[in-house]
Amino acid sequence: MENISAAPETQIKETSFLSLNPSTLEVIGEVANTSREEIDDKIEKAQKAQKRWAARPDAERKEIILKVAEALQQNSKHLAAWITREQGKPLSGPGANFEMQACVGWTQVPASLDVPEEIVFEDETRKDILYRNPIGVVAAIAPWNWPLMIAIWQIIPSLRMGNAVVIKPSEYTTFCTQEMIKVINTVLPEDILQVITGRGEVGSYLTSHPEIGKIMFTGSIATGKKVIEASVKNMARLTLECGGNDAGIILPGFDVSKHIDQLFWAAFLNMGQTCACLKRLYVHENDYEKVVKALTDYSSHIPMGDGADEASILGPIQNKMQYDKILDLILDSEKNGADVLFRGQKPDLEGYFIPVTLIGNVDNGHRIVDEEQFGPVLPIIQYKTLEEAITKANNSENGLGASVWSDDLNEAQKVAAQLQAGTVWINQHGAIHPLVPFGGAKQSGYGVEFGIEGLKAVSLPKVISIKK
């Protein structure tokens, strides 16, 4: 999602560019590219603030973060309106207000958790104690699909463990993220959370900066690899969430009617612009028509339009780059013999709208199946045997999430155990939780977020070994 070069000497050439409302294409404002000198200054301030922040008692840091949650709650309507205006997701349904409630929850939970020292070994001769110390300054690269929620995932655990954060929002959703940072900084001590803005070269300079100790990134595989290259300059620790092409398998005989709501939103939450959305659906040939009909009937009743209209439940694609990519994948599938099983009604608006689209007569090997479309398009693939479905589901460079849908939970768990993904859901998909570790397998990244494991990931283990 970001275009980050690994070279720290990259020049920041542009001074500014425009941000657009994806529903109306109106200009929201001009985004400045933060200069290298400004980035240096912000990192230096963050370093000094981090030492003061880490010196505070743990209970005090927890109390401050809980006050951050209160501030987010108090400003949730204001921030949700900004999300809708710049990111595009509707206020209604699982949209901008939903995102803001997630921001509050994912702030409260880390503040409620403790990571105490641990006696890892003790006998009559020695005692070894494992402590978790702050890393220093964390560089956070936030994406455009959930610009506030994912920024919170990066910011709050880092602060909770005594770090400072310098965050770069996506170039496509700068203003809404900045608005949230303003709210958070009414509570936090000065300089502990800094924001820089701009295109990929700004992120390049930040991630390769010698004073960065940890990088948290959510985005594409290609950009994730560039972040890895950048980290060679500073040996920064990494947490990478590089997207997914999540597969779902419906086991034979599944009563889809009981779960159609969950199945639809598994694929089309945030217009499919979610890393852990269902992006490939494998259905037994005997159940294919039934599943297609259920999804078609449900999809035809979900209204799409400008997210500011409370009647809208689905909104636009966030930016033209992604819009063009999705249209290209749909066109390619049609050229190669795919069937458009359903195409929803496109609203009469100028924005980047693509209606919900169900694609049939496709298989592994088609681009629409093999590539992460990251949009409101779902290829539905028929299979004859479960072994075939499992093999095809695993045939991907991605491994973020997967799901199994069945009325037989024991059978579903057997299939889930064979799927290559960081999380496999049963009769749900993308159901993340702030206490449950979340991360990818294969090229979907490494490291985990959320819960105790997520807090450990933004700290340094230190052992003190005592000879008795």
Contact 150, 176 (CB under 8 A): no
Question: What gap in Å lies between CA 376 and CA 25, rounded to an integer?
Answer: 20
Q: What is the separation, in whole angstroms, between the first and last Cα of the chain?
A: 53
Question: What gap in Å lies between CA 332 and CA 366, rounded to an integer?
Answer: 9
**Could you tell me the pTM of the whole model?**
0.95
Question: What gap in Å lies between CA 2 and CA 241, rounded to an integer?
Answer: 13
Q: What is the mean pLDDT of residues 348-375?
A: 97
Q: What is the mean pLDDT of residues 333-357?
A: 97
Q: Which residues contact 116 (CB under 8 A, 6 or more apart)?
A: none
Contact 227, 208 (CB under 8 A): no
* Residue 280 amino acid letter: R
Contact 216, 140 (CB under 8 A): yes
pLDDT of residue 7: 39
Confidence tier at 205 by pLDDT (50, 70, 90): very high
pLDDT of residue 213: 98
Beta-strand pair 339-343/357-360? antiparallel
Using the predicted structure, report yes or no on whether residue 14 has a pLDDT greater than 70. no
Question: What gap in Å lies between CA 349 and CA 227, rounded to an integer?
Answer: 37
Pick from 13-27, 67-81, 236-250, 274-288: least confident: 13-27
Using the predicted structure, report yes or no on whether residue 320 has a pLDDT greater than 50. yes
CA 390 to chain centre: 25
Using the predicted structure, report yes or no on whether residue 453 has a pLDDT greater than 90. yes
pLDDT of residue 16: 84
Beta-strand pair 246-250/401-405? parallel
Q: Which residues pair with 16 in a beta bridge?
A: 32
Q: What is the mean pLDDT of residues 4-22?
A: 67
Question: What gap in Å lies between CA 110 and CA 170, rounded to an integer?
Answer: 24
Q: Which residues pair with 128 in a beta bridge?
A: 121, 465
CA angle 375, 379, 380 (to 5 degrees): 145
**Residues above pLDDT 90, as percent of the chain:** 96
Using the predicted structure, report yes or no on whether residue 3 has a pLDDT greater than 60. no
pLDDT of residue 13: 62
Directed axis angle between helix 96-112 and helix 76-86, to 10°? Answer: 130
Joined together, the tokens standing for residue 422 give: 């960081």
Joined together, the tokens standing for residue 26 give: 């109106």
Q: Which residue in 78, 83, 436, 74 sits closest to 270, CA to CA?
A: 83
254: left (phi over 0), alpha (psi -120 to 50) or beta: beta
Task: Map out the domains of the chain with their CATH numbers.
Answer: 16-242+441-467 (3.40.605.10), 246-426 (3.40.309.10)
Contact 68, 184 (CB under 8 A): yes
pLDDT of residue 46: 98
Q: Which residues contact 447 (CB under 8 A, 6 or more apart)?
A: 238, 239, 240, 439, 457
Joined together, the tokens standing for residue 120 give: 């890892």
Alpha-carbon torsion (104, 444, 437, 392), positive or negative: positive
pLDDT of residue 6: 39
- The torsion of the CA quartet 272, 274, 227, 5, rounded to 10 degrees, works out to 40
Confidence tier at 290 by pLDDT (50, 70, 90): very high
DSSP class of residue 258 equals: G
Using the predicted structure, report yes or no on whether residue 62 has a pLDDT greater than 80. yes
Using the predicted structure, report yes or no on whether residue 55 has a pLDDT greater than 70. yes
The strand order across the sheet containing 423-426 reads 339-343, 357-360, 377-383, 278-284, 246-250, 401-405, 423-426
Q: Which residue in 457, 461, 454, 459 sits closest to 109, CA to CA?
A: 454
Strand positions, DSSP E, 242-331: 246-250, 278-284
Confidence tier at 12 by pLDDT (50, 70, 90): low
Confidence tier at 253 by pLDDT (50, 70, 90): very high
Give Dmax (Cα) for the chain: 77
Per annotation, catalytic residue among 99, 171, 241, 372:
241
Between 12 and 314, whose confidence is greater?
A: 314
The strand order across the sheet containing 126-134 reads 118-122, 126-134, 459-467
Using the predicted structure, report yes or no on whether residue 240 has a pLDDT greater than 60. yes
Residue range 413-452, pLDDT digits in tens: 999 999 999 999 999 999 999 999 999 999 999 999 999 9
Q: Which residue in 139, 115, 299 sits closest to 214, CA to CA?
A: 139
Contact 267, 404 (CB under 8 A): no
Confidence tier at 8 by pLDDT (50, 70, 90): very low
Question: What gap in Å lies between CA 52 and CA 31, rounded to an integer?
Answer: 31
Residue range 154-199, pLDDT digits in tens: 999 999 999 999 999 999 999 999 999 999 999 999 999 999 999 9
Rg (Cα) of the chain, in Å, rounded?
A: 23
**Residues above pLDDT 70, as percent of the chain:** 97
pLDDT of residue 15: 78
pLDDT of residue 24: 97
Average pLDDT of the chain to the nearest whole number: 96
Contact 69, 104 (CB under 8 A): yes
Q: What is the mean pLDDT of residues 123-144?
A: 98
* Residue 426 amino acid letter: I
- Is 38 noted as a catalytic residue in this protein? no
pLDDT of residue 10: 52
The backbone torsions φ and ψ at residue 112, rounded to the nearest 5 degrees and listed phi first, read: -95, -10
